[in-house]
């Protein structure tokens, strides 16, 4: 089921079919703040009121033209200005394929540099999301290059990939801040663990590398076992609660977000917005088949 949904995340025919169903669109608003920056800022403010920080993601990936990549860059720079003018506790997350990685790596590097430079003037951090494993090398290369000039940029590692433990050691050595997650893409077993238990074991191993590094990293998961392991390890190594943060996705386990924030941990939620929400929603559905049954039941009922 997971593999099928992740395959359909890039299928235009299926997308056009699903967009005809109101229930599919309605489910999107559980995971996506809305279509406009106004909607997103409203959700950021609501999170901040609950002592939860935010990171904003302008949805859109695999941009098809360099003009589109440039307009996405301008739009993200606009988000940074809005974050400052609203005085909200928020940073941004970006995807390199939205900034033109599939089309021209040099221009993509230029676009990311413009965003990070603007963010730096405003004192805002920029997180480069990690896409599927065909992009890992290129993403790390571009992040490293930008980081040598500006240190307000970091990236993401996925514990489903065999390579991530060694990537974590190398990035930490360079001082680059990491968001650790399990990985949301369909990967071949030449590069990724098949079994959830192996991905989870990798998560714990890499979490320890991150917490031991002395840098400020993000542990991104809704998995209570991973969260408990992180809390326990941090306590055993005397890593203070303000030296790392937990991150979760908008619309998932709000109870747990609140519980952690009330327990004195730093919590940040990832808030996506924009009209290009289809692949993002499909990845969220792939993580939880119960969401798919909900849609199927509603469609069958007519």
Which residues are known to be catalytic? 129, 179
Measure the CA–CA gap between 262 and 235, rounded to whole angstroms. Answer: 17
Among 27, 99, 220, 271, indicate the residue that binds ligand FDA (CB under 6 A).
Answer: 220
- Least distance between ligand FDA and beta carbon 259 (Å): 14
Among 130, 140, 161, 206, indicate the residue that binds ligand FDA (CB under 6 A).
Answer: 130
Among 136, 152, 164, 221, indicate the residue that binds ligand FDA (CB under 6 A).
Answer: 221
Does 247 interact with ligand FDA (rule: CB under 6 A)? yes
Of the candidate spans 6-14, 99-107, 108-116, 217-225, the one that interacts with ligand FDA by CB under 6 A turns out to be 217-225
CA angle, residues 294, 247, 222, in degrees to nearest 5: 40
Of the candidate spans 3-11, 133-141, 165-173, 241-249, the one that interacts with ligand FDA by CB under 6 A turns out to be 241-249
Q: Which is nearer to ligand FDA, 94 or 172 (CB)?
A: 94
Of the candidate spans 75-83, 102-110, 143-151, 246-254, the one that interacts with ligand FDA by CB under 6 A turns out to be 246-254
Closest-CA residue to 124 (of 97, 99, 87): 87
- Least distance between ligand FDA and beta carbon 183 (Å): 4
Measure the CA–CA gap between 245 and 216, rounded to whole angstroms. Answer: 8
The secondary structure of residue 192, as a DSSP letter, is B
- Least distance between ligand FDA and beta carbon 225 (Å): 8
Q: Which is nearer to ligand FDA, 208 or 222 (CB)?
A: 222
Strand intervals (E) in the chain: 53-58, 90-94, 126-128, 153-158, 178-181, 217-220, 244-249, 266-273
Closest-CA residue to 184 (of 102, 252, 138): 252
Does 184 interact with ligand FDA (rule: CB under 6 A)? yes
Does 223 interact with ligand FDA (rule: CB under 6 A)? yes
- Least distance between ligand FDA and beta carbon 298 (Å): 17
* Alpha-carbon distances of 89 from 53, 92, 127, 189, rounded to whole Å: 6, 11, 15, 39
- Is the torsion defined by CA of 205, 57, 248, 4 positive or negative? negative
Q: How far is CA 236 from the centre of its chain?
A: 28
Q: Which is nearer to ligand FDA, 97 or 111 (CB)?
A: 97
Q: Which is nearer to ligand FDA, 70 or 291 (CB)?
A: 291
Q: Kindly state the helix (H) or strand (E) to which residue 35 belongs, with its residue range.
A: none
Separation of first and last alpha carbons in the chain: 23
Other beta carbons within 10 angstroms of residue 90's beta carbon come to 26
- For ligand FDA, the binding residues in 268-287 under the rule CB under 6 A are 270, 284, 287
Q: Which is nearer to ligand FDA, 80 or 285 (CB)?
A: 285
- Identify any residues that bridge with 270 across adjacent strands, giving them in sequence order: 55, 249
Does 198 interact with ligand FDA (rule: CB under 6 A)? no
Q: How many residues bind ligand FDA (CB under 6 A)?
A: 24
Among 24, 135, 147, 185, indicate the residue that binds ligand FDA (CB under 6 A).
Answer: 185
Give φ, ψ of 161 to 5 degrees.
-85, 135
Residues in contact with ligand FDA by CB under 6 A are 129-130, 156, 158, 179, 181-185, 220-223, 247-249, 252-253, 270, 284, 287-288, 291
């Amino acid at each position: 089921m997971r593999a099928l949904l992740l395959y359909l995340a890039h299928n235009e025919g299926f997308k056009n079919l699903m967009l005809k169903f109101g229930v599919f669109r309605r489910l999107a608003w559980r995971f996506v703040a809305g279509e406009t920056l106004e909607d997103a800022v409203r959700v950021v403010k609501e999170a901040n009121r609950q002592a939860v920080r935010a990171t904003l993601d302008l949805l859109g990936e695999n941009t098809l033209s360099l003009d589109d990549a440039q307009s996405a860059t301008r739009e993200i720079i606009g988000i940074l200005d809005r974050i400052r003018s609203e005085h909200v506790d928020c940073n941004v997350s970006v995807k390199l394929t939205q900034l033109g990685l599939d089309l021209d790596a040099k221009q993509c590097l230029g676009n990311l540099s413009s965003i990070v430079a603007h963010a730096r003037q405003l004192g805002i951090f920029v997180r480069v999301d990690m896409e599927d494993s065909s992009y890992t090398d290129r993403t790390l290369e571009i992040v490293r290059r930008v980081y040598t000039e500006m240190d307000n940029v970091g990236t993401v590692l996925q514990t489903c990939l065999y390579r991530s433990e060694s990537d974590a050691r190398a990035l930490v050595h360079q001082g680059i801040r990491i968001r650790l997650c399990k990985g949301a893409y369909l990967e071949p077993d030449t590069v990724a663990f098949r079994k959830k238990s192996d991905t989870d074991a990798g998560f714990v191993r890499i979490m320890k590398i991150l917490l031991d590094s002395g840098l400020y990293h993000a542990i991104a998961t809704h998995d209570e076992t991973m969260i408990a392991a992180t809390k326990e390890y941090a306590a055993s190594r005397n890593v203070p609660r303000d030296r790392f943060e937990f991150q979760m996705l908008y619309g998932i386990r709000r109870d747990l977000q609140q519980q952690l924030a009330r327990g004195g941990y730093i919590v940040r939620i990832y808030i996506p917005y924009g009209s290009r929400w289809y692949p993002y929603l499909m990845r969220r559905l792939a993580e939880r088949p119960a969401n798919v049954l909900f849609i199927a039941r509603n469609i069958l009922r007519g």
